[in-house]
């Protein structure tokens, strides 16, 4: 997957690049609207990460251009302003999703994959890993072709794990993914623990491999090897 990161903060851009590089994505980054326009003219990208506040203008204006000229690219807006207006305008102008700073890199990755899936897989919407397959339309999980009885949050969690396989996922990142930003989820770690526990039990129960392991002190990891 080719990703263009339009973000004026070098450090943040590097974080994203470092993280996505490990997924085998080809990442390029630029820090102004002008540079972004140049890059867009020369190359084609599957996904564009667009910061709203850029030194030479508002990212929304670029969104218009992208939608007019480069229809195939997914656009994910990154904004520090959790202002409702930006969100609504951004999505109305054709952004595919919206993420607010500060985000977890795993969350960003999950979002990129989600918009990519929605657009590029053309209806199949199956995420599979070895014996586990998830249908993102029907929210069904199958392990060795057995239908697993999972709750919506467990489905979310498993998808999050598979998308971010071989990565350490902190409890904070999981809590933020499952319950969003505004809940005071410092106290939700117990729930994370219980969800993970139930999910592991269900997969093992259906004869699947228990890929999920606890990482001491930090969180969990879905081990693909």
Partner 1 sequence: MKLTTKFTLWYFGIMLFVLLMGGYIVYYEIQNKLSRVEVVRHQRLNDLIAGQVRAGGDYSNHPTRKRATVTPIPADSVPRGISTYYTRGIGWNPEFQENEYRLLVTSFYLIHGQWYRITTYSFIPSFYQLLPGVVDSFKWIFLLLLILVIISAGLISKYILAPFKRTLRVIQSFDLKQKTAIRLPDTQTSEFRELNVFLQKMTEKAREDYRSLKEFTENTSHELQTPTAIIRGKLDLLMESDIRDEQAILIAETQNALERLSRIHSSLTLLTKLENHEYEADTRVCISQLTRETLNSFEELIQLKSLTLMTTIAEKIYVPLHPSLADLLLTNLIGNAIRHNMPPADFGEEGAAGNGLIQVNLTREGLIVVNTGRKPQVPTAELFERFKKGNSGSDSIGIGLAIVRQICDLSHFTIDYQYRDGFHCLAVGFGPRVAASKLLQNLSLPLHSRA
Q: Which residues bind partner 1 (CB under 8 A)?
A: 9, 11-12, 15-16, 18-19, 22, 53, 80-84, 100-106, 151-153, 167-168, 170, 172-173, 181-184, 186-188, 190-191, 194-195, 215-219
Q: Which two tokens stand for residue 134?
A: 């998830």
CB nearer partner 1, residue 48 or residue 173? 173
Q: Is residue 160 within 8 Å of residue 105, measured between CB atoms? A: no
Of 2, 8, 24, 27, the C-alpha closest to 16 is 27
Count the alpha carbons within 13 Å of 69 in the hemisphere toward its beta carbon.
Answer: 15
CB nearer partner 1, residue 21 or residue 69? 21
- Return d(Cα 114, Cα 125) in angstroms, integer: 10
CB nearer partner 1, residue 72 or residue 216? 216
Q: Is residue 114 within 8 Å of residue 137, measured between CB atoms? A: no
Calculated CA dihedral for residues 177, 180, 184, 190, nearest 10 degrees: -30
DSSP labels for 102-130? S--HHHHHHHHHHHHHHHHSTT--EEEET
Q: How far is the CB of 218 from partner 1 (least distance, A)?
A: 5
Q: Is residue 170 within 8 Å of residue 218, measured between CB atoms? A: yes
Q: How far is the CB of 75 from partner 1 (least distance, A)?
A: 19
Q: How far is the CB of 169 from partner 1 (least distance, A)?
A: 9
CB nearer partner 1, residue 208 or residue 219? 219
Q: Is residue 137 within 8 Å of residue 125, measured between CB atoms? A: yes
Q: How far is the CB of 122 from partner 1 (least distance, A)?
A: 30
CB nearer partner 1, residue 36 or residue 109? 109
Q: How far is the CB of 119 from partner 1 (least distance, A)?
A: 25
């Amino acid at each position: 997957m080719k990703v263009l990161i339009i973000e004026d903060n070098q450090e943040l851009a590097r974080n994203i690049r470092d993280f996505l590089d490990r997924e085998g994505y080809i990442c390029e980054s630029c820090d102004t609207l002008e540079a972004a326009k140049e890059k867009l003219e020369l190359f084609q990208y599957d996904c564009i990460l667009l910061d709203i506040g850029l030194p030479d203008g508002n990212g929304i204006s670029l969104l218009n251009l992208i939608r007019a000229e480069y229809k195939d690219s997914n656009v994910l807006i990154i904004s520090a302003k959790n202002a409702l207006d930006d969100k609504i305008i951004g999505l109305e102008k054709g952004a595919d999703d919206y993420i607010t700073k500060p985000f977890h890199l795993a969350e960003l990755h999950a979002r990129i994959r989600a918009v990519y899936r929605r657009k590029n897989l053309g209806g199949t919407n199956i995420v599979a890993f070895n014996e586990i397959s998830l249908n993102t339309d029907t929210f069904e999980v199958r392990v060795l072709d057995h239908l697993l009885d999972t709750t919506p949050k467990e489905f979310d969690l498993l998808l999050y794990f598979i998308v971010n396989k071989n990565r350490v996922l902190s409890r904070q990142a999981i809590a933020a993914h499952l319950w969003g930003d505004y809940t005071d989820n410092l106290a939700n770690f117990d729930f994370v623990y219980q969800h993970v526990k139930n999910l592991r039990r269900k997969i093992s129960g259906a004869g699947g491999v228990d890929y999920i392991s606890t990482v001491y002190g930090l969180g969990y990891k879905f081990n693909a090897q």
